[in-house]
A and B are shown apart, each in its own frame.
Chain A
Amino acid sequence: RKEVEQDPGPFNVPEGATVAFNCTYSNSASQSFFWYRQDCRKEPKLLMSVYSSGNEDGRFTAQLNRASQYISLLIRDSKLSDSATYLCVVNGRGNNRLAFGKGNQVVVIP
């Protein structure tokens, strides 16, 4: 089983709609979870950390389910500028090493 698994998509989303996707991780001892955003031909940038209690940042909501070992990201009222690849990132191996999913590609359509 891969360390971090994501459905690559693409997720074609009408502007203004809500989109949600999950990511599963294999190491139950993982302690830290993140969502990164990567625009085409650019470097990944932190979108938000994911906390046990769930957290929200504007139109973005992240949830963690430790029992089922998945994290989720929900984007409300999608904007054209939300088009990007969203990478699920987990600290599961210690020694400062992060495990990256392959990303969920989101395309917001006018």
Chain B
Amino acid sequence: DVKVTQSSRYLVKRTGEKVFLECVQDMDHENMFWYRQDPGLGLRLIYFSYDVKMKEKGDIPEGYSVSREKKERFSLILESASTNQTSMYLCASNPEGGAGTDTQYFGPGTRLTVL
């Protein structure tokens, strides 16, 4: 069974803090993704990575950065958290061959509140 884990289920931070969200997958997948999900807006892609040290911007990368130093781990960084980054953050992964050939497997999500 594919397992994607995220470091926290719930997180509360203050405006201006630096926030790290960690995601780990145990299936040796090449591709990893970070989304945020907001009511009425659906899932939106922030960043994705198709290999170690590689990253690509998604639809809404502003205010975020990512790090992929190891294949199994993909980190999302909020350099200076703002209240409009309050959201549910979902990490996903899939193997090489991409979204066209294989489904994405999601972690349980981190519900981040920025006060």
Which residues of A come within 8 Å of B, CB atoms?
Answer: 31-32, 34, 41-46, 49, 87, 91, 94-98, 100-103
Interface hits, B58-104 → A, CB 8 Å:
58, 90, 94, 98-101, 103-104
B interface bracket (residues with beta carbon within 8 Å of A) = 20 to 34
B34 at the interface (CB under 8 A from A): no
Which residues of B come within 8 Å of A, CB atoms?
Answer: 31, 33, 40-43, 45, 48, 50, 56, 58, 90, 94, 98-101, 103-104, 106-109, 111
Chain B residues whose CB sits within 8 angstroms of the CB of A32 once the complex forms: 99-101
Would you mind naming 25 contact pairs between A and B with Cβ atoms under 8 Å apart? A31-B100, A32-B100, A34-B103, A42-B108, A43-B90, A43-B106, A43-B107, A44-B43, A44-B90, A44-B106, A87-B42, A91-B100, A94-B100, A96-B33, A96-B48, A96-B94, A96-B99, A96-B100, A97-B45, A97-B48, A97-B99, A98-B104, A102-B41, A102-B42, A103-B42
Q: Classify the interface of chain B: helix, strand, loop or mixed.
A: loop
Q: How far is the CA of A17 from the CA of B50 in the complex (A)?
A: 43
* CB-based A-B contact count at 8 angstroms: 50
Q: Classify the interface of chain A: helix, strand, loop or mixed.
A: loop
For residue B27, give the distance in angstroms from its CB to the closest CB of chain A.
14
By the criterion CB–CB under 8 Å, are B103 and A49 in contact? yes
